[in-house]
Amino acid sequence: MAAIDVQAEIVGRARRVLPGGTFGNFPGDIVIREGRGGRVWDENGKEYVDFLLGSGPMLVGHAHPEVTAAAQARIAEGTTFFANNRHGIELAEAIVAAVPCAEQVRFVSTGSEADLYAMRAARAFTRRDKILKFEGGYHGMSDYSLMSLAPKRPGNFPQPVADSAGIPKSLRDEILVAPFNDLEVAAGLVREHRQELAGVILEPLQRIIPPAPGFLEGLRRITAEHGVLLIFDEVVTGFRLGYGSAQEYYGVVPDLCTLGKVIGGGFPLAAIAGRADIMAHFDRGAVGDDGFMMQVGTLSGNPVAAAAGLATLAILQRPGAYEGLFATGRELMETLAELLKRNGIAVQVTGEPPLFDVVFGPEPVRDYRGTLRGDAETLRRFNAILRERGILKGEQKYYVSLAHTAEDVRHTREAWSSAIKALTA
């Protein structure tokens, strides 16, 4: 008797009630049933080594017993209050203790919101309107952030290209766009627009592209010189590149940062953190009606998410946590690079050990246009073949977890070897 395809039935139901059959995040042809450690299972029971990791939050692995226990204990005592709760306050304290720029914290529920408010805080503080971002930089889904995130036909710098329908044309005047890793262009724009520029926002590790030596330092210098705020979007890199996040890892401290993913322990929670004089704009009592930034969210600082986040941070603080994460990531990156090279495939394995991917092509990648020069079709095929062989990942990222074991690495190596054979056959 043929096995029942439970997943196909659920996929069919999804197509009827969800646009495109998905939540919008990931192709709807896979439905995940459960996750444990560094692995997930789909609704047909097929097992995968999971490098998607919920798009990053599950740094300590799925269903970690300590995170689960912390969340369950909190759930039994009520799940949301709107008023302050002890867990959220403790999480804010932990963030202030860990992240160099964080003197104060405001919680929200998603990274998109955090980025939107960080940009607004920069405007409120400087009383200027424009924001400079980098082409290909991801800062969530707001009208401002969806400028030149992934333009198919990139325009002339610094003109932004809207990535979505429904964005007012007038907003194009409020965003300037520069190429990542080109300090000269960015510095020139900061100088030219200093009277109207509120902030520069960037992912310190832009998707999988590391900052070139001196780039972050140069941005820090030029923004400080002109009273423009430097905002690091650390939604991905926060607590992933190190306990002090990318700003500690790369040694450059911004004025504000945004955090998400890891700090919610797998629940919806994100934050804006930074200098107290800027964060004061969330406090009407401190800045008065004129400077006050209205900001309220029903689930902000949610106690279940905060308890799960605190349990996650406690695990990350243990001796050897990041050494282990980096060792696993380094082994994976080196293995993949070696296997591809051995098969004569021109490829760049790029990123940092906790987060990387490949770009098929002979040239090192320094910016968004560099990724466009990569062979996207080969990457798509490689990912699809890997999926068949039990490797789950996002389109352009391997997220590494503390929970990935030597056995997971071995399985991944075998899957890569066999996928490369299939790719070159």
Using CB under 6 A, list all residues that contact ligand PLP: 55, 110-112, 115, 138-140, 203, 233, 235-236, 260, 270
Q: How many residues does the chain have?
A: 425
Out of 42, 50, 115, 233, the active site residue is 233
Q: Which residue is at the shortest CB distance from ligand PLP?
A: 111
Is 138 annotated as catalytic?
Answer: yes
341 is catalytic: no
CB of 107 to ligand PLP, least distance (A): 13
Q: Could you confirm whether 261 is annotated as catalytic?
A: yes
Tokens of 158: 């610094």
**Phi, psi (rounded to 5 degrees) for 295:** -160, 110
Choosing from 115, 133, 255, 261, the catalytic residue is 261
Q: Output the smallest distance, CB 113 to ligand PLP, in A.
A: 7
User: What are the angstrom distances between the C-alpha of 114 and each of 125, 200, 295?
Assistant: 16, 15, 11
Percentage helix, strand, coil for the chain under 3-state DSSP, each rounded to 5: 45, 15, 40
Measured from the CB of residue 261, what is the shortest distance to ligand PLP in angstroms?
7
Q: What is the C-alpha to C-alpha distance for residues 148 and 290, in angstroms, rounded to an integer?
A: 31
Burial 141-170 (b: 16+ CB within 10 A, else e): bbbbbbbbbebeebeebbebbbeeeebeee
Catalytic, out of 42, 115, 130, 138: 138
Q: Both tokens of residue 128?
A: 């200027």
- For ligand PLP, the closer of residues 140 and 254 by Cβ is 140
Residue (54 or 154) nearer to ligand PLP, CB:
54
- By beta-carbon proximity to ligand PLP, the closer residue of 111 and 210 is 111
Rounded to a whole number of angstroms, the minimum distance from the CB of residue 146 to ligand PLP is 11
Return the number of the residue (236 or 333) whose C-beta is nearest ligand PLP.
Answer: 236
The three-point CA angle 239-144-350 to 5° equals 45
Q: How far is the CB of 134 from ligand PLP (least distance, A)?
A: 11
User: Which residue lies nearer to ligand PLP by CB, 138 or 356?
Assistant: 138
SS3 call for 392: strand
Please identify every residue annotated as catalytic. 138, 233, 261
